[in-house]
Amino acid sequence: MQRTMKKHNDFQTRLIHAPRKAPQFIETVQPPLFRASTIIFKSTSHLFDRHWTDDYDYSYGTHGTPTTFTLGDNIAQIEGGLHCLLAPSGLSAINVVNSAFLSTNDEVWVPDNIYGPNLEHLNHLQNQYGVIVKVYNPIDASSFQPTEKSKLLWLEAAGSVTLEFPDLKNLVKKAKKHGVLTALDNTWGAGLAFNAFNFSDEHLSVDLTVHALTKYPSGGGDILMGSIVTRDDKLHHRLFRTHAILGIAVSGDDAAQVQRSLAHMSLRYEQQSENAQTLLKWLKDQSQFAQVLHPSDETAPGHQYLQEICTNGQSAGLVSVIFKPDYDITAVRRFCDALELFKLGFSWGGPVSLIMLYDLKMMRKLENTHLQQGLLVRFCIGLEDPQDLIQDIENALKQL
Q: Which of 64, 72, 81, 90 binds ligand PLP (CB under 6 A)?
A: 90
Q: In whole angstroms, what is the distance from residue 145 CA to residue 135 CA?
A: 10
Asked whether position 33 contacts ligand PLP by CB under 6 A, the answer is no
Q: Which is nearer to ligand PLP, 224 or 357 (CB)?
A: 224
Characterize 371-391 residue by residue with b for buried, 16 or more Cβ atoms within 10 angstroms of its Cβ, and e for exposed.
bbebbbbbbbbbeeebeebbe
381 binds ligand PLP (CB under 6 A): no
95 binds ligand PLP (CB under 6 A): no
Q: Which residue is nearest to ligand PLP (CB)?
A: 90
Decide if residue 214 touches ligand PLP (CB under 6 A).
yes
Residues 335-374 that bind ligand PLP (CB under 6 A): 347
With contacts defined by CB under 6 A, name the span among 88-96, 287-295, 316-324, 377-385 that binds ligand PLP: 88-96
Residue 190: phi, psi to the nearest 5? 55, 15
3 state DSSP class of 341? coil
To which H or E segment does residue 380 belong? strand 376-380
Candidates 102-110, 210-218, 255-263, 377-385; binding stretch for ligand PLP (CB under 6 A): 210-218
165 binds ligand PLP (CB under 6 A): no
Whose Cβ is closer to ligand PLP: residue 107's or residue 185's?
185
Q: Smallest distance from the beta carbon of 1 to ligand PLP, in angstroms?
A: 42
State the minimum distance, in angstroms, from the CB of residue 338 to ligand PLP: 26
**CA dist., res. 116 & res. 112, Å (int):** 10
Q: Decide if residue 212 touches ligand PLP (CB under 6 A).
A: yes
Report the site for ligand PLP in 267-306 (rule: CB under 6 A): none
How far the first Cα of the chain sits from its last, in Å, is: 70
**What gap in Å lies between CA 272 and CA 270, rounded to an integer?**
6
218 binds ligand PLP (CB under 6 A): no
CB 322 to ligand PLP: min, Å: 19
Radius of gyration of the chain (CA): 24
Nearest distance from residue 289's CB to ligand PLP, in Å?
A: 23
Which H or E run contains 236?
helix 233-245
- In the complex with ligand PLP, which residue's Cβ is closer, 172 or 318? 318
Could you give phi then psi for residue 90, rounded to 5 degrees? -60, -40
Q: Which stretch binds ligand PLP (CB under 6 A): 138-146, 174-182, 211-219, 240-248?
A: 211-219
Which DSSP category does 60 fall into? B
Please name which of 202, 174, 201, 171 lies closest in space to residue 184, comparing C-alpha atoms: 171
Contact 39, 60 (CB under 8 A): yes
Instruction: Please pick, from the candidates 64, 72, 189, 226, the single residue that binds ligand PLP as defined by CB under 6 A.
Output: 226
91 contacts ligand PLP (rule: CB under 6 A)? yes
Distance CA 285, CA 283 (A): 5
How far is Cα 302 from Cα 327, in angstroms, rounded to an integer? 27
Q: Among 34, 58, 109, 115, which residue sits at the site for ligand PLP (rule: CB under 6 A)?
A: 115
Identified binder of ligand PLP from the candidate list 187, 195, 205, 275, rule CB under 6 A: 187
Q: Among positive and negative, which fits the CA dihedral 262, 268, 270, 276?
A: negative
- The Cα–Cα gap between 91 and 332 comes to 29
Q: Which of 185, 207, 254, 297 binds ligand PLP (CB under 6 A)?
A: 185
Does residue 70 interact with ligand PLP by CB under 6 A? no
Q: Out of 70, 89, 95, 98, point to the residue binding ligand PLP (CB under 6 A).
A: 89
Beta bridge partners of 132: 107
Beta bridge partners of 227: 86, 211
Euclidean distance between CA atoms 355 and 373, whole angstroms: 19
Beta carbon of residue 367, minimum distance to ligand PLP (angstroms, whole number): 23
Range list of β-strands (E), 68-176: 83-87, 107-111, 132-136, 150-156
Contact region with ligand PLP (CB under 6 A), list: 86-94, 121-129, 200-208, 325-333: 86-94
Interface residues with ligand PLP (CB under 6 A) are 89-91, 115, 160, 185, 187, 212, 214-215, 224, 226, 347
